[in-house]
Amino acid sequence: VVFGFFILIFNQMALCGSFADAKSDPEVIQTPPASSIHESERVTFQCQLKGAQMNDYYMFWYRQRLSEAPEFISREGRQYGEGFRERFTAELQSSNNRFSLLIDSARLEDSAIYYCA
């Protein structure tokens, strides 16, 4: 293994909101839980919401690098944070309760924890 040529990307999940009428909180499931890829490869994360409909929420992707504050990537694929529109694509598929994040031509500096919220 040659160091510097692999990117390790973790993702976690979060969902904020209040559910006064809900019997149980919705569950956010992200796949894959971790990914190790070569630089310049493409990686896709999927976020699925169980127990609620995504179109009832604003869905976001965030990235958090080691020892740094979270960075806003996208809101529902319509709005993007600064510097993310070029290689990052977020897509909301409300019909199947999925929200995906595609990173094209991954770079070493993309190593981070990715959050769907």
| Whether residue 2 has pLDDT greater than 50 | no
Instruction: Return the percent helix, strand and coil in the chain, to nearest 5.
Output: 10, 45, 45
**What phi, psi does 104 have (nearest 5°)?**
-95, 140
| Whether residue 77 has pLDDT greater than 90 | no
Sequential DSSP letters for 45-93: EEEEEESS-GGGS--EEEEE-TTS--EEEEETTTEE-TTTTTTEEEEEE
Q: For the domain made up of 6-16+26-116, give the CATH fold.
A: Immunoglobulin-like (2.60.40)
Judged by DSSP in three states, 109 sits in helix
Q: What average pLDDT does the structure give for the chain?
A: 83
Taking the C-alpha atoms of residue 32 and residue 53, their distance in angstroms, rounded to an integer, is 21
| Whether residue 3 has pLDDT greater than 70 | no
Higher per-residue pLDDT: 1 or 90: 90
Residue percentage of the chain with pLDDT more than 70: 80
pLDDT for 11-50, tens place per residue?
A: 555 444 434 444 578 888 898 888 888 999 999 999 998 8
Domain range annotation of the chain: 6-16+26-116
Query: Which pLDDT belongs to residue 4?
Result: 32
Instruction: Using the Cα atoms of residue 28, residue 68, residue 79 and residue 17 in order, give the sign of their dihedral.
Output: positive
Taking the C-alpha atoms of residue 37 and residue 59, their distance in angstroms, rounded to an integer, is 26
Residue percentage of the chain with pLDDT more than 90: 56
| Whether residue 103 has pLDDT greater than 60 | yes
Query: Which pLDDT belongs to residue 27?
Result: 86
Q: Give the DSSP letter of residue 40.
A: T
Query: Which pLDDT belongs to residue 35?
Result: 87
Q: Structure tokens of 9?
A: 């990307």
